[in-house]
C-alpha cells in the first residue's frame, strides 16, 4: 500500500476534533488496508513504530533532522533552523522545504507503507557511536522520495509527535467498525449516497444531510448481538458468535461488549497491530484466544483516588483490604524459563535490577508466574525505607549496575498475583489472588515482603492503620475490594488510593518556554519560584493544569500577561520580570540539586491565577522547608 493513502487519512484526521469522525476515518482506512499491511498501518496511524510492549525508540535529536532536511533540500542548515524557530513545528518545516525542492527536481519514487516502516525501524535499531551517518542516510532516503505532505508526517512520526489525535480508544472502536458487521442504532445509511455512517449530521462521504429523524429502527442495518455475553473467559469460547439481536437495547449492549472484547485483547497483547489483524482474520474467537503470555507485559491495573477513608470504603465496599502504599515504583515480574521485570510503562528493566531478579529466584516458589509489586529503596545503614526519589536513578542506569546495587539497595513488596504456576488469575477475586500470592512467596527481611495489609470494616481501625503507614514513610494506603478481579489497564474502582492532600503554594513565574507545534504561538512551560530573602529561587517548571481553550487559566492568557514582562530571550526560552503569581497544586515536595531553591515539586499543576497577590507576597522558602518536614511523618 502506498504511504500517500495513510497520509490522506492523517490529513483528514487533523481536520476534525470529533471522535466519531476520527473513528469512522480510521475504520475506513483499516478496511481498505491489505491483510499484509494491516499491522503496520494500525501502528503507524497512532504514530507508533513498535507495539506498546516493545521499548525500542527512534531517539532522533531535532538537530539530526535539521541536518537531514538541509541535505535533502539543499538549503543551508542555518535557514532551516530559522524557519524552525519561526514555524515551531519540524513537520511543517519539512513540508515547506520539500515543496520548494520538488519544484526544482521532479522525479521521485512512490513511498510505500512498508518502505517507511522499514526505515523507521532501522533507525530505532541503530545505536551507539558511528551511526549518525547511517541514520542521516535512512532519513534522507525517505525524504527524497516524499511528497511535501508525506514529509510532514514522516518527520512527525520520527519525533514521536504525530498530533492527529488518534488515541487508543478511537483505534479500538475503529477496529470494531471495520471488521464486525455494523450494528443498528450505531450506523445509519446516508439517504443520498447510501454509505453507512456513524450517528452524524452530515455524511462524511458525500457531505449531504444524513436526515436522521426517521430513526434507527427504520434505517439501522442488521442488528447483531454476541451470544453468551457474560463471563467471557470462563465459558467455552466456541459458543461466541454474532447473531441477530432482538432490539436496539440488545444491539447497544452487544456493541459495548464487542468493544470490551477488543480492549481486553489490547490489554493482554499490548499490540494494536496484532489485535487488528486478529479481529480481521480470526474474528471474535481469535480475539478471545489472545491470552496472557509470560515475557510480554500486560497493562497494569490502576487505582482511583479517594478523598479520605470514608470515601474509600464508599467506593470499594466493606470489609476491604487496606495496604501500605509504598513509595517506590511499580514492577511486573514475569517468570517462565527466565525472569523478566517491567515497569508500569511496560519498559523492560531486568538488566537494571539483578538484585531483584535474585530475590525473586530465591523467594518465589512457583514455576510460571506473573506478579505485581512495588520496588522500594532501603537506606544501606539504617535499613529504613527511602522515598522513590532516592532510587529513581536506578531505572535508567545502563552502567556500573553491580556497584549501584550496593550503594542504592532495594527491596520488593508484592501486592498482587496475575498468574501462578501457569494459571491465569485475572478473573479470580482479589482475596483469592492474595491467598495464592502468600502461598507462592517466602518473605525475607529487607528483600521481599507481601504488602502489609489489614482487612477491616471498622473506620477507626482503618484510621490507625493509615496513620501507621504514614509514620513508616509510606505515601498513604490503598483500599481494595476483596472481590475485585484484576482489570489490566483500567482505573476501575476495585481499589483506591488515599493520600494526605498537600497545601497548595503561591509561586511566581520567572521564566517560560515558547511552545512547539500547535502551541507555537504561546508560552507553554513556566518556571516557578518562591521567595528567599529579596530573591526568587527556582522550584521547577509547570505546564499542567493550563487550558488550550475553555475555562480556567489558559496559555493565551498567561502569554498575554507575560509578554510585556519578557526581559531576555535565548532560543525558545525567555526570562520574565517576577510579577505574576500562580497557585500550584502538587503531590509532594522533593529535595532537588537541579533548582536554586534546593526543592522541586512532584507533579505540579496550575490551579489558578492569583492576580490579587503581588510577587512579594508569594510563598517563602521557609514555608517550603516546613511543608517538606511535615510530609509523611518525616
Ligand atoms: P499513583 O501512582 O498515585 O496512581 O498510585 C498507584 C501506585 O501506587 C501503583 O501504581 C503502585 O506503583 C503504587 N503502590 C504502592 N503500594 C501499593 C499497593 N500496596 N498496592 C497497589 N499499588 C501500590
The mean pLDDT value for 584-611 works out to: 93
Position 228 scores a pLDDT of 38
Q: Cα(440) to centroid of ligand 1, in Å?
A: 21
Q: Cα(590) to centroid of ligand 1, in Å?
A: 18
Least confident of 143-147, 254-258, 268-272, 307-311: 254-258
Q: Which of 142, 159, 176 is the last residue of a domain?
A: 159
Ligand 1 atom nearest to 480, measured from its CA = 20
Q: Which of 159, 190, 214 is the last residue of a domain?
A: 159
Ligand 1 atom nearest to 453, measured from its CA = 19
Q: Is the pLDDT of residue 54 over 90?
A: no
How far is the C-alpha of 542 from the C-alpha of 148, rounded, in Å?
35
Domain that holds residue 545: 505-633
The mean pLDDT value for 300-315 works out to: 93
In this structure, the dihedral spanned by the alpha carbons of residues 373, 375, 380 and 381, taken in order and rounded to 10 degrees, is -60
How far is the C-alpha of 594 from the C-alpha of 453, rounded, in Å?
37
Q: Cα(381) to centroid of ligand 1, in Å?
A: 26
pLDDT band at 357; cut points 50, 70, 90: very high
Q: Is 580 helix (H, G, I), strand (E, B) or coil?
A: coil
Q: Which among 591, 574, 502, 587 is positioned nearest to 539, based on CA atoms?
A: 591
Is 291 a domain residue? Answer: no
Q: Cα(388) to centroid of ligand 1, in Å?
A: 12
Cell numbers given for 587: 503531590
Least confident of 137-141, 436-440, 471-475: 471-475
Q: Which of 135, 159, 183 is the last residue of a domain?
A: 159
Is 34 a domain residue? Answer: no
Q: Cα(14) to centroid of ligand 1, in Å?
A: 36
How far is the C-alpha of 510 from the C-alpha of 507, rounded, in Å?
9
The mean pLDDT value for 56-72 works out to: 88
Ligand 1 atom nearest to 587, measured from its CA = 3
CB neighbours of residue 28 within 10 Å: 18
Position 246 scores a pLDDT of 61
Is 21 a domain residue? Answer: no
pLDDT band at 205; cut points 50, 70, 90: confident
Ligand 1 pocket (Cβ < 6 Å) reads 303, 323-326, 330, 344, 374, 415, 451, 478, 497
Chain-centroid distance of CA 410 in Å reads 26
Q: Is the pLDDT of residue 104 over 80?
A: no
Same domain, 525 and 481: no
How far is the C-alpha of 326 from the C-alpha of 332, rounded, in Å?
15
Dump pLDDT digits (tens) for 213-253. 654 443 333 334 444 333 444 443 333 445 455 666 666 77
Same domain, 491 and 622: no
Ligand 1 atom nearest to 323, measured from its CA = 19
Position 358 scores a pLDDT of 97
How far is the C-alpha of 528 from the C-alpha of 586, rounded, in Å?
13
Q: Please choose from 302, 433, 497 the residue to mutate so as to test ligand 1's pocket, defined by most ligand atoms within 8 A of CB.
A: 497
pLDDT band at 632; cut points 50, 70, 90: low
Claim: this prediction has a pTM higher than 0.95: no
Nearest CA to ligand 1 atom 16: 325
Q: Please choose from 323, 325, 481 the residue to mutate so as to test ligand 1's pocket, defined by most ligand atoms within 8 A of CB.
A: 325
Q: Cβ distance 365 to 537 under 8 Å?
A: no
Position 224 scores a pLDDT of 41
Q: Please choose from 417, 478, 586, 603 the residue to mutate so as to test ligand 1's pocket, defined by most ligand atoms within 8 A of CB.
A: 478
Same domain, 486 and 528: no
Position 189 scores a pLDDT of 78
Least confident of 54-58, 362-366, 401-405: 54-58
Position 60 scores a pLDDT of 85
CATH number, domain containing residue 554:
2.40.50.140
- Return mean pLDDT, the chain: 88
Nearest CA to ligand 1 atom 8: 325
Same domain, 436 and 542: no
Same domain, 510 and 492: no
Position 519 scores a pLDDT of 86
Nearest CA to ligand 1 atom 10: 330
Q: Is the pLDDT of residue 582 over 60?
A: yes
The mean pLDDT value for 288-306 works out to: 90
Nearest CA to ligand 1 atom 3: 497
Same domain, 395 and 431: yes
The mean pLDDT value for 174-195 works out to: 79
Neighbouring-strand partners of residue 377? 386, 410
Is 185 a domain residue? Answer: no
Position 606 scores a pLDDT of 95
**DSSP-derived secondary structure for 290-359:** ----TTS--PPP--EE-SSHHHHHHHH-SSEEEEEE-SSEEEEEEESSSEEEE-TT--B-TTT-HHHHHH
**DSSP-derived secondary structure for 439-500:** HHB--BTTTEEE--EEEES-HHHHHHHHHHHHHTT-SEEEEEETT----TT---TTEEEE-P
Same domain, 313 and 453: yes
Sole residue written with cell 463471563? 231
pLDDT band at 387; cut points 50, 70, 90: confident
Nearest CA to ligand 1 atom 11: 330
368 as an active site residue: the answer is no
**Is residue 318 left, alpha or beta, with left meaning phi > 0 and alpha meaning psi from -120 to 50?**
beta
pLDDT band at 466; cut points 50, 70, 90: very high
The mean pLDDT value for 377-393 works out to: 88
Q: Cβ distance 510 to 576 under 8 Å?
A: yes
- Helix (H), strand (E), coil (C) string for 37-67: HHHHHHHHCCCCCCCCCCCCCCCCCHHHHHH
CATH number, domain containing residue 387:
3.30.470.30
Cα–Cα distances (Å) from 452 to 28, 35, 362, in that order, read 51, 50, 21
Ligand 1 atom nearest to 327, measured from its CA = 15
Is 606 a domain residue? Answer: yes
Question: What percentage of the chain reaches a pLDDT higher than 70?
Answer: 91
325, 340, 480, 499: which is the annotated catalytic residue?
325
Q: Cβ distance 268 to 488 under 8 Å?
A: yes
pLDDT band at 53; cut points 50, 70, 90: confident
Same domain, 518 and 452: no
Dump pLDDT digits (tens) for 564-579. 999 988 878 899 999 9
Is 61 a domain residue? Answer: yes
Same domain, 348 and 481: yes
Least confident of 163-167, 236-240, 449-453: 236-240
Neighbouring-strand partners of residue 224? 244
Is 103 a domain residue? Answer: yes
Same domain, 595 and 572: yes
Cα–Cα distances (Å) from 526 to 149, 368, 513, in that order, read 33, 48, 7
Q: Cα(325) to centroid of ligand 1, in Å?
A: 6
Q: Which among 316, 354, 320, 347 is positioned nearest to 332, based on CA atoms?
A: 347
Q: Cα(269) to centroid of ligand 1, in Å?
A: 23
Is 348 a domain residue? Answer: yes
Same domain, 109 and 136: yes
Count structural domains, the chain: 3
Same domain, 478 and 562: no
Sole residue written with cell 493565551? 556
Amino acid at each position: 500500500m502506498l504511504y500517500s493513502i495513510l497520509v490522506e487519512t492523517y490529513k483528514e484526521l487533523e481536520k476534525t476534533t470529533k471522535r466519531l469522525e476520527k473513528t469512522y476515518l480510521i475504520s475506513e482506512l483499516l478496511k481498505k488496508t491489505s491483510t499484509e499491511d494491516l499491522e503496520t498501518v494500525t501502528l503507524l496511524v497512532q504514530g507508533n513504530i513498535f507495539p506498546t510492549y516493545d521499548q525500542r525508540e527512534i531517539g532522533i535529536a531535532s538537530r539530526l533532522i535539521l541536518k537531514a532536511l538541509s541535505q535533502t533540500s539543499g538549503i543551508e542548515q542555518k535557514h532551516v533552523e530559522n524557519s524552525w524557530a519561526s514555524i515551531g513545528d519540524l513537520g511543517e518545516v519539512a513540508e515547506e522545504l520539500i515543496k520548494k525542492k520538488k519544484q526544482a527536481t521532479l522525479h521521485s519514487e512512490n513511498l510505500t507503507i512498508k518502505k517507511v516502516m522499514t526505515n523507521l525501524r532501522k533507525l530505532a535499531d541503530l545505536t551507539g557511536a558511528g551511526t549518525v551517518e547511517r541514520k542521516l542516510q535512512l532519513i534522507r532516503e525517505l525524504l527524497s522520495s516524499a511528497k511535501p505532505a508525506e514529509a510532514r508526517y514522516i518527520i512527525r512520526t520520527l519525533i514521536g509527535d504525530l498530533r492527529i489525535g488518534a488515541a487508543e480508544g478511537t483505534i479500538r472502536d475503529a477496529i470494531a467498525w471495520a471488521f464486525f458487521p455494523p450494528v443498528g442504532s450505531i450506523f445509519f445509511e446516508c439517504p443520498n449516497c447510501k454509505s453507512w455512517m456513524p450517528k452524524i449530521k452530515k455524511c462524511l462521504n458525500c457531505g449531504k444531510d444524513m436526515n436522521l429523524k426517521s430513526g434507527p429502527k427504520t434505517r439501522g442495518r442488521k442488528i447483531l448481538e454476541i451470544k453468551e455475553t457474560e463471563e467471557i473467559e470462563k465459558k467455552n469460547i466456541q459458543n461466541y458468535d454474532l447473531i441477530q439481536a432482538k432490539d436496539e437495547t440488545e444491539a447497544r449492549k452487544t456493541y459495548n461488549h464487542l468493544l470490551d472484547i477488543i480492549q481486553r485483547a489490547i490489554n493482554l497483547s499490548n499490540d494494536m497491530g496484532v489485535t487488528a489483524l486478529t479481529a480481521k482474520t480470526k474474528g471474535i474467537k481469535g480475539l478471545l484466544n489472545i491470552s496472557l503470555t509470560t515475557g510480554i507485559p500486560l497493562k497494569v491495573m490502576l487505582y482511583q483516588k479517594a478523598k479520605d477513608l470514608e470515601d474509600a470504603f464508599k467506593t470499594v465496599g466493606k470489609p476491604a483490604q487496606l495496604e501500605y502504599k509504598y513509595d517506590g515504583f511499580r514492577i511486573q515480574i514475569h517468570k517462565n524459563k527466565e525472569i523478566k521485570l517491567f515497569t508500569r510503562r511496560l519498559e523492560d528493566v531486568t538488566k537494571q535490577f539483578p538484585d531483584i531478579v535474585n530475590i525473586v529466584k530465591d523467594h518465589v516458589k512457583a514455576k510460571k508466574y506473573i506478579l505485581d509489586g512495588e520496588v522500594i529503596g532501603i537506606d544501606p545503614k539504617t535499613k529504613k525505607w527511602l522515598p522513590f526519589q532516592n532510587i529513581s536513578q536506578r531505572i535508567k542506569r545502563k552502567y556500573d549496575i553491580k556497584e549501584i546495587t550496593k550503594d542504592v539497595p532495594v527491596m520488593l513488596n508484592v501486592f498482587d498475583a496475575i498468574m501462578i504456576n501457569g494459571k491465569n488469575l485475572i478473573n479470580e477475586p482479589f482475596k483469592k489472588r492474595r491467598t495464592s500470592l502468600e502461598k507462592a512467596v517466602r518473605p525475607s527481611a529487607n528483600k521481599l515482603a507481601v504488602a502489609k495489609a489489614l482487612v477491616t470494616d471498622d473506620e477507626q481501625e482503618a484510621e490507625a492503620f493509615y496513620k501507621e503507614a504514614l509514620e513508616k514513610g509510606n505515601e498513604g494506603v490503598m483500599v481494595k475490594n476483596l472481590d475485585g478481579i484484576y482489570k489490566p489497564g483500567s482505573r476501575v474502582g476495585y481499589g483506591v488510593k488515599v493520600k494526605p492532600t498537600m497545601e497548595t503554594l503561591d509561586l511566581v513565574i520567572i521564566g517560560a518556554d515558547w511552545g512547539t507545534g500547535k502551541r507555537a504561538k504561546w508560552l507553554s512551560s513556566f518556571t516557578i519560584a518562591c521567595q528567599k530573602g529579596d530573591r526568587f529561587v527556582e522550584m521547577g517548571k509547570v505546564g499542567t493544569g493550563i487550558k488550550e481553550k475553555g475555562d480556567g487559566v489558559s496559555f493565551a492568557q498567561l502569554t498575554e500577561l507575560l509578554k510585556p514582562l519578557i526581559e531576555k530571550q535565548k532560543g525558545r526560552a525567555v526570562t520574565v520580570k517576577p510579577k505574576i503569581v500562580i497557585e500550584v497544586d502538587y503531590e509532594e515536595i522533593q529535595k532537588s540539586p537541579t533548582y536554586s531553591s534546593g526543592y522541586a515539586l512532584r507533579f505540579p499543576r496550575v490551579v489558578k491565577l492569583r492576580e490579587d497577590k503581588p510577587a512579594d507576597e508569594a510563598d517563602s522558602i521557609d514555608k517550603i522547608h516546613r511543608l517538606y518536614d511535615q510530609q509523611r511523618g518525616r
